[in-house]
C-alpha cells in the first residue's frame, strides 16, 4: 500500500485535494444562502485586494478631477451658457411637474396610499469587480461604518444597478441585476404587467413570468414594482429591447438596463427608506376639495346678506350645475387647491354654495378660490 501511494504520489495528492474541494463545495451548496462557512476566506481575500483598488481609484479620480476642474477648461464658457439655458427650460418644466405631483399626492392621500420615499442615500465609488464572467458583482468603497447593510438597493442616476450582497470591513459587495442569481420585481410602465427581471448566463437581462398572451412592445419602460421589498417602487430599470413568444407559457422579453452596468464608476446606495402617506403642503384636503378644483363654478356674487352658508340646504352644497360645453371631468384652468396656511376655515374650503347657476357659465368662469371664499362666509 505504501509503495502504491509513493508510486502514484502525485495522482494521490491530486485526488485528495480535489476530493476535499468537492466536499467543501457540497457543504456550501447544502447551506446555500449562508456564507458563514466561507466568510473568513472571503474577508481575507477582499481585505487583501480592495485596499489597493481603493487607493488606485481615488488617485485616478483625484488626478482626473484636477485635470478637468483646473487645467482642461476648453469650451466651459459655451457649456455654461448652454447649461443656463437648460436650467431655464427645466425651471419651466419643474413648475408644471410640481403642480402635477402635488395633485397626485393629494389624490394618493385621499385613497390611503402609502408611498416609499428614499430618505437617505450614500454615494460610493466602484473599486473592483469579481473578475469573472460568471459572477456579476462589483465592490464599492463604502462599508458598515457608512451605514451600508445587506440587501440595500444600489442605483445610479440612470437606473437600478443591484443590491448589496455582503458588507466587509473596507468595502461592500454588490450583486448586479444582470447576474443569473439576481431577481428584481418589476412592472411595465404602460401595460402595468408585472414580472421578475433576471440575468442570463450570457450577461443579458430578461423579464420573466409574463404570460405569452400579453402584449409587450419594444421600447416600453420597465420600473421597479416594489414587490421584492428591496427596491422602492417606481425606479427605472430599463427598456424592453425585444419581446417574443417563449418556449414555455411565458414571453421571452429582453431588457436593456438603463444603467450602463459594464461601466459603473459611482453609485448611490439607498440606506434609508420610509413608508408614509403622501403629505400635501398645508391642510389635508378632503374629497370635496378635490372635486371643487375640478368642477367649474360661477363668478362670485356680491354679498346680499340674505344667504349665509348655514342657510343653504345640504343637498345644494354639492350641486353644481353643469355649464354648457364643459365636461364633468375636465379641470378648470388655474384652479388652485392650496388653502391659505394658518386660516382654519380654509381647511374646509369645499365648494362655493351655488344656487341655480346660470346656464351661460363658461369654463373660463372664475374658478373656485377657497382661500378667498371660506364655506362659513356669506357669499
CB of 26 or CB of 299, closer to another protein: 26
Minimum Å gap between C-beta 129 and another protein is 5
Cα pseudo-dihedral 354, 288, 296, 309, rounded to 10: 20
> Distance between CA atoms of 268 and 283, rounded to whole angstroms?
34
CB of 93 or CB of 260, closer to another protein: 260
> Distance between CA atoms of 146 and 244, rounded to whole angstroms?
44
CB of 99 or CB of 151, closer to another protein: 151
Applying CB under 8 A, the residues found at the interface with another protein are: 9-10, 13-14, 17-18, 21-22, 24-26, 28-29, 32, 38, 41-42, 44-46, 48-49, 52-53, 56, 126-135, 137-139, 165-166, 173, 175, 179-181, 201-202, 262-265
Tell me the pairing of strands 194-199 and 205-208. Answer: antiparallel
| Phi, psi (rounded to 5 degrees) for 116 | -100, 120
Minimum Å gap between C-beta 211 and another protein is 22
Minimum Å gap between C-beta 152 and another protein is 16
Distance linking the first and last C-alpha atoms of the chain:
111
Strand-pair partners of 162: 154, 176
Minimum Å gap between C-beta 157 and another protein is 18
CB of 23 or CB of 87, closer to another protein: 23
- DSSP assignments along 362-376, one per residue: -TTSPPP-TTTS-TT
Nearest to 237 by CA among 155, 124, 349, 320: 155
Are 45 and 170 in contact, with CB atoms under 8 Å apart?
Answer: no
CB of 167 or CB of 373, closer to another protein: 167
Minimum Å gap between C-beta 45 and another protein is 4
CB of 106 or CB of 198, closer to another protein: 198
CA–CA distances in Å: residue 46 to residues 52, 68, 147, 244: 10, 32, 19, 41
Nearest to 367 by CA among 285, 289, 298: 298
Minimum Å gap between C-beta 47 and another protein is 10
Q: In 298-347, where do the E strands start and end?
A: none
Minimum Å gap between C-beta 247 and another protein is 14
CB of 199 or CB of 238, closer to another protein: 199
Minimum Å gap between C-beta 367 and another protein is 56
> Distance between CA atoms of 275 and 30, rounded to whole angstroms?
36
CB of 175 or CB of 332, closer to another protein: 175
Are 339 and 295 in contact, with CB atoms under 8 Å apart?
Answer: no
Amino acid at each position: 500500500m505504501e509503495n502504491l501511494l509513493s508510486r502514484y504520489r502525485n495522482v494521490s495528492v491530486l485526488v485528495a485535494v480535489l476530493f476535499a474541494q468537492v466536499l467543501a463545495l457540497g457543504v456550501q451548496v447544502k447551506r446555500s444562502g449562508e456564507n458563514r462557512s466561507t466568510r473568513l476566506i472571503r474577508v481575507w481575500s477582499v481585505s487583501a485586494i480592495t485596499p489597493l483598488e481603493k487607493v488606485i481609484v481615488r488617485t485616478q479620480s483625484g488626478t482626473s478631477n484636477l485635470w478637468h476642474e483646473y487645467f482642461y477648461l476648453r469650451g466651459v464658457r459655451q457649456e455654461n451658457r448652454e447649461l443656463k439655458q437648460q436650467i431655464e427650460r427645466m425651471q419651466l418644466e419643474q413648475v408644471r411637474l410640481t403642480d402635477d405631483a402635488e395633485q397626485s399626492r393629494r389624490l394618493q392621500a385621499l385613497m390611503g396610499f402609502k408611498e416609499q420615499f428614499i430618505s437617505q442615500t450614500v454615494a460610493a465609488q466602484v473599486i473592483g469587480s469579481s473578475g469573472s464572467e460568471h459572477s456579476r458583482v462589483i465592490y464599492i468603497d463604502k462599508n458598515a461604518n457608512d451605514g451600508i447593510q445587506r440587501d440595500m438597493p444600489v442605483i445610479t442616476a440612470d437606473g437600478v444597478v443591484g443590491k448589496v450582497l455582503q458588507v466587509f470591513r473596507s468595502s461592500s459587495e454588490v450583486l448586479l441585476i444582470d447576474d443569473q442569481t439576481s431577481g428584481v420585481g418589476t412592472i411595465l410602465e404602460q401595460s402595468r404587467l408585472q414580472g421578475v427581471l433576471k440575468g442570463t448566463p450570457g450577461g443579458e437581462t430578461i423579464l420573466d413570468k409574463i404570460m405569452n398572451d400579453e402584449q409587450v412592445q419594444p421600447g416600453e419602460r420597465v420600473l421597479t414594482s416594489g414587490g421584492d421589498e428591496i427596491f422602492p417602487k417606481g425606479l427605472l430599470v430599463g427598456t424592453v429591447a425585444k419581446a417574443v413568444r417563449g418556449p414555455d407559457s411565458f414571453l421571452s422579453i429582453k431588457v436593456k438596463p438603463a444603467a450602463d452596468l459594464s461601466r459603473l464608476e459611482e453609485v448611490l446606495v439607498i440606506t434609508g427608506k420610509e413608508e408614509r402617506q403622501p403629505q400635501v403642503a398645508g391642510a389635508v384636503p378632503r374629497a370635496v376639495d378635490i372635486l371643487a378644483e375640478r368642477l367649474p363654478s360661477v363668478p362670485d356674487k356680491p354679498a346680499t346678506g340674505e344667504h349665509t352658508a348655514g342657510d343653504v340646504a345640504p343637498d345644494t352644497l354639492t350641486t353644481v350645475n353643469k355649464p354648457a360645453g364643459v365636461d364633468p371631468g375636465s379641470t378648470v384652468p388655474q384652479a388652485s387647491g392650496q388653502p391659505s396656511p394658518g386660516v382654519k376655515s380654509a381647511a374646509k374650503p369645499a365648494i362655493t354654495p351655488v344656487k341655480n347657476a346660470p346656464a351661460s357659465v363658461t369654463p373660463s368662469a372664475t374658478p373656485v378660490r377657497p382661500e378667498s371664499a371660506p364655506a362659513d362666509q356669506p357669499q
